[in-house]
């Protein structure tokens, strides 16, 4: 299990449930958001840094989205 950073707040179970619920729309729309960012001129590397993903994962998301749209 990853270590908690010292400056991170101590989350409760209720916090975790709320955060997961609030993040569901992002998860459903992430591919579209990533593709729009890429088409808008951001590099895959920049998107990866901003969203805390690997660059490879960003390319996977883009490929999957394009396949689903075809």
| pLDDT tens-digit series, residues 2-11 | 566 778 899 9
Cα distance between residue 70 and residue 22, in whole Å: 29
Structure tokens at 58: 């960003």
Whole-prediction pTM: 0.77
| Cα–Cα distances in angstroms (integers) from residue 13 to residues 4, 9, 20, 38, in the given order | 15, 13, 11, 35
- pLDDT score for 37: 98
- pLDDT score for 7: 85
- pLDDT score for 6: 77
- pLDDT score for 47: 98
- Residues of the chain predicted below pLDDT 50: none
- pLDDT score for 59: 98
């Amino acid at each position: 299990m990853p270590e908690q950073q010292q400056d991170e707040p101590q989350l409760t179970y209720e916090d975790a449930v709320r955060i997961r619920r609030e993040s569901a729309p992002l998860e459903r729309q992430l591919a579209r958001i990533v593709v729009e960012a890429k088409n808008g001129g951001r590099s895959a590397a920049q998107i990866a840094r901003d969203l805390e993903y690997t660059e490879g994962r960003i390319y996977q998301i883009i490929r999957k989205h394009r396949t689903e749209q075809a």
